[in-house]
């Protein structure tokens, strides 16, 4: 990968889709705007018609020209659809980096670390390491999640054997624009990672760069068994479709 496709005004953009996260969105925004990097970056927030004051909280930061606040015209967008809106914005950077609206970066350096990994490992996508915390950012079980069972050395197909790829995720924007994110609010990141890894190397960062907060309003905090089963079925289907695509690709290349 040459990393020279397109003319990007920013090296990196952090993408935050959000709906009704008044308790956490300010922390997420401050976490991004306090990043130290040797390149230009911005923050694109896709505010999916919040009704709890989140919109007004985002507007508190409007004097910082790095913040772009988008409200979709459509009402049917999931997290994936919001991502597509953000990465197709003309001011999106060369690399698009994930931050969920209730999480924060671990310190002021992760953006630099994630972007460096693209060049050092020559990859189209980078996956970092996160630490699970409570609302006050104290570590809770299971602690640090680095997915060391999935590495470039043990092969890209090993990503099919695990139920998630890790966080944060970052993408080379021209390829992300081409592949697009599924318009769902669960598993969209996993499907995208498998799609990327079919054709491209995924880079890994094994130091903690991201804090994943668990709290009472968090969408993953307390899933009932019915929803958990539905989520697992969806990921099983994603894996099946991906296996079929890789088998077809191998047949075509013979």
Domain boundaries along the sequence of the chain: 12-219
pLDDT surpasses 90 at 16:
yes
Region 187-207 average pLDDT: 90
CA-wise closest residue to 27 among 125, 119, 80, 101: 101
Quickly state the pLDDT bin for 113 (edges 50, 70, 90).
very high
Q: What's the angle, vertex CA 221, arms to CA 112 and CA 203, rounded to 5? A: 30
Dihedral sign, CA of 170, 174, 175, 181? positive
With a pLDDT cut of 70, the percent of the chain lying above it is 97
Tokens matching residue 192: 């995208």
For 150-177, b/e burial (b = at least 16 CB within 10 A) is beeeeebeebbeeeebbbbbbbbbbbbb
pTM for this prediction? 0.92
Given a contact cutoff of 8 angstroms between Cβ atoms, the answer to whether 15 and 86 are in contact is yes
Cβ atoms within 10 Å of 59's Cβ, excluding its own: 12
Which residue is listed with tokens 């930061």?
61
Cβ atoms within 10 Å of 20's Cβ, excluding its own: 17
pLDDT digit string, tens, across residues 57-111: 999 999 999 999 999 999 999 999 999 999 999 999 999 999 999 999 999 999 9
How far is residue 226's CA from residue 115's CA, in Å, rounded to a whole number?
38
- Peptide bond between residue 168 and the one before it cis (omega within 30 degrees of 0): yes
Contact residues for 159 (Cβ-Cβ < 8 A; gap 6+)? 150, 165, 193, 194, 197, 202
pLDDT at 218: 59
Q: Is 186 helix (H, G, I), strand (E, B) or coil?
A: coil
pLDDT at 249: 87
DSSP 219: T
12-219: CATH architecture: Alpha-Beta Complex (3.90)
**φ, ψ for residue 88, nearest 5 deg:** -90, 0
């Amino acid at each position: 990968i040459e990393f020279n496709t397109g003319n990007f005004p920013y090296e990196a953009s952090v993408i935050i889709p959000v709906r009704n996260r008044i308790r956490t969105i300010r922390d997420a925004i401050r976490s991004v705007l306090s990043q130290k990097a040797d390149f230009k970056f911005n923050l694109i927030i896709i505010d999916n018609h919040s009704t709890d004051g989140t919109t007004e909280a985002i507007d508190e930061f409007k004097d910082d020209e790095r913040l772009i606040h988008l409200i979709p015209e459509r009402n049917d967008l999931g997290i994936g659809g919001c991502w597509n809106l953000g990465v197709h914005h003309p001011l999106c950077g060369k690399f698009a980096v994930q931050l969920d609206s209730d999480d924060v970066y671990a310190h002021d350096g992760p953006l630099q670390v994630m972007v460096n990994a693209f060049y050092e490992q020559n990859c189209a996508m980078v996956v970092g390491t996160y630490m699970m915390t409570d609302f006050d950012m104290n570590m809770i079980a299971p602690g640090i999640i680095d997915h060391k069972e999935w590495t470039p050395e043990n092969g890209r197909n090993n990503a099919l054997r695990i139920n998630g790829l890790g966080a944060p995720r970052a993408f080379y924007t021209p390829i992300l624009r081409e592949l697009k994110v599924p318009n769902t609010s669960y598993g969209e990141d996993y499907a995208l990672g498998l799609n990327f890894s079919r054709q491209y190397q995924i880079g890994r960062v094994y130091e903690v760069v991201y804090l994943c907060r668990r709290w009472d309003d968090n969408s993953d905090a307390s899933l009932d068994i019915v929803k958990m089963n539905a989520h697992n079925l969806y990921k099983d289907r994603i894996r099946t479709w991906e296996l079929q695509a890789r088998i077809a690709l191998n047949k075509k290349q013979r």
